[in-house]
Structure 1
Amino acid sequence: MLEKELWLYRALNGRTIVFSKDIAKKSTTLTYGYDVALGIASIIGKETAFGEAFHITSDESYTWKEILEIYLDTIEKKTGMRPKVLLLDKSPHLEWIGAKWQVILDRYYNRRFDNSKIQQYIDTSQFVRTESGLISCLESFLCHPQFKKMGWGIQGTYDRITGEWAPFSEISIIKDCISYLLHRTVVPPKSKLSI
């Protein structure tokens, strides 16, 4: 998944999440932040850890599709509505300079890590299970949702892809409104996206 402003905001406002099959099939290893901190603390001051590199990760890997399903199930449980998802063949982020490299260098790889080295210092089997951590964090956020600055141009592009419109009451700055309208109606994608 990408930043919550790109997908969760859409889901909570009744618009379709835009995702892609090319990313959905890749695997990832996500680790609860507190467990990473415990892992770092476990090697501080240990002479045997000097000059070494460690993967401080959970023992579990999931596909991005499985992560998406966890999010969808949690949102449905908390709000009573299951978000809609449009699965494209290729990520639209490949067309955008700012997000292209995040997709190519991060999301297009199966990210499974060998964490046996850190296990000399901490029992990673005691780390928060990925699914539990994701559900807990999302439920906490949903109780008091706060989004950072919204990229209304990207939202306009997503709405052009899905055929949806954001109500202008959601866009409080004129410049953002213009960016949204341009991307929603005028600025064509660089290449045809396959749906």
Structure 2
Amino acid sequence: MKILFIGGTGNISTSVSKLALSKGVDLYLLNRGKTEGEIPGAKTITADIYNFAEANKALKDHSWDVVVNWIAFSPEHIENDLKLLAGKTKQYIFISSASVYQKPPTLPVITESTPIVNPFWQYSRDKIACEDVLNDAYRKNGFPITIVRPSHTYDTIIPVAIGGSSEYTIIDRMKKGKKVIIHGDGTSLWTLTHSRDFAKGFVGLLGNQRALGQAVHITSDEVLTWNQIYQTVADAAGVELNAVHISSEFIGKIYHEKKDGLLGDKSHCAIFDNSKIKSLVPDYNATIPFSEGIRETLNWFEEKPERMIVNPETNAIMDKVIAAYES
């Protein structure tokens, strides 16, 4: 198969790119050439996907079995792709988000039939709007869509709710014995998925005719409390956990950038029924426990000092929230 990944070198997509190549896929990556990572074996097309003239010039002589857009976040992005790729791909996969599912949830287990509505988080509402545009294109014009909804997927990020996931700040705080914030009482249930596990399900959807017109999430079946997640991170760092529990509402009043993501996602339980991905990709099974995956992640950060970013602004806002709460 000849496949185009728009993006393809990020936290989730790098593992997918590597697995696809190992399966013999003829993989092209379209990006602006500004990303650190390279994927050996993939061909690179350099262009800005959202500069229509530039992208059209770069892609005009190609047709594809599958196109995956890892970096579409608004309906305008989708409209651009529809113009660019009409008649040029047999399958278009949009990376949505499991945060689109109903908040607050009315049922404890999420399936693909769970309503998609999120009144709290604009990011999720934009993803929903993207899905609406694609479903309309599928119904009216037969544009061959598949929608994939990852949940909290990690590899080169530290999957905490407060503390800077793309930074080393939370680990530095833990190692120095400083307090870290856990939202709520830490007992809500959450699902974390390693990107290599996600890749196994995702690659099985490439060129999968049964997936056309479908939306599907791909997650682990391991469910942890936030207390367990933070304790596992501390264990991987080899330190004692010094946690303070603060309500999401209180955090949001001070740490404004986190308010919508907490109230619209991480303050709710997230337990997923993976029956649909397992029916579409029968050999899909997530096998990397968080206790193992997070150690790999910390090793990745610590391999290169330049990855171990300690952000003073992240520290300052965490200290501010904690001081306000304790006062």
TM-score of the pair, normalised by structure 2: 0.44
Change (3 A) 1:135 1:30: same
Deviation of the 1:42 alpha carbon:
0.2
Question: Which residue of the other structure, out of 68, 85, 92, is the alignment partner of 2:242?
Answer: 85
2:305 aligned with 1:155, yes or no?
no
Measure, in 2, the Cα distance between the counterparts of 1:37 and 1:125.
Answer: 10
Q: 1:70·1:131 contact (CA, 8 Å) conserved in 2? A: yes
Q: Which has the higher helix share?
A: 1
Deviation of the 1:113 alpha carbon:
0.7
2:222 aligned with 1:60, yes or no?
yes
Correspondence for 2:98: none
Deviation of the 1:85 alpha carbon:
1.5
% identical aligned pairs: 24
Q: 1:57·1:124 contact (CA, 8 Å) conserved in 2? A: no
Correspondence for 2:288: 128
Correspondence for 2:171: 8
Match of 1:141, SS? helix
Q: 1:23·1:108 contact (CA, 8 Å) conserved in 2? A: no
Which amino acid letter does the alignment assign opposite residue 119 of structure 1?
Answer: K
Q: 1:16·1:162 contact (CA, 8 Å) conserved in 2? A: no
Match of 1:16, SS? coil
Change (3 A) 1:162 1:155: same
Q: 2:221·2:274 contact (CA, 8 Å) conserved in 1? A: yes
Correspondence for 2:135: none
Correspondence for 2:270: 111
Deviation of the 1:43 alpha carbon:
1.2
Q: What is the aligned residue count?
A: 160
Which amino acid letter does the alignment assign opposite residue 55 of structure 1?
Answer: H
Q: Which has the higher strand share?
A: 2
Correspondence for 2:211: 49
Correspondence for 1:74: 236
Measure, in 2, the Cα distance between the counterparts of 1:157 and 1:50.
Answer: 44
Correspondence for 1:186: none
Deviation of the 1:161 alpha carbon:
5.9
Q: 1:32·1:133 contact (CA, 8 Å) conserved in 2? A: yes
Which structure has the higher relative contact order (CA within 8 Å, separation 6+)?
1
Measure, in 2, the Cα distance between the counterparts of 1:37 and 1:109.
Answer: 25
Measure, in 2, the Cα distance between the counterparts of 1:135 and 1:37.
Answer: 19
Measure, in 2, the Cα distance between the counterparts of 1:44 and 1:25.
Answer: 37
Correspondence for 1:31: 193
Which amino acid letter does the alignment assign opposite residue 35 of structure 1?
Answer: D
Q: 2:231·2:241 contact (CA, 8 Å) conserved in 1? A: no
Measure, in 2, the Cα distance between the counterparts of 1:44 and 1:106.
Answer: 28
1:46-88 per-residue CA deviation (whole Å, 9 max, x = no partner) reads 2111111112111111111111111111111xxxxx2442313
2:310 aligned with 1:193, yes or no?
no
5+ long unaligned stretches in structure 1: 77-81, 164-191
Measure, in 1, the Cα distance between the counterparts of 2:201 and 2:298.
Answer: 23
Match of 2:231, SS? helix
Q: 2:182·2:226 contact (CA, 8 Å) conserved in 1? A: no
Match of 2:243, SS? strand
Which amino acid letter does the alignment assign opposite residue 9 of structure 1?
Answer: D
Deviation of the 1:16 alpha carbon:
1.2
Match of 1:88, SS? strand
Deviation of the 1:159 alpha carbon:
3.4
TM-score of the pair, normalised by structure 1: 0.69
Match of 2:193, SS? coil
Measure, in 2, the Cα distance between the counterparts of 1:122 and 1:23.
Answer: 37
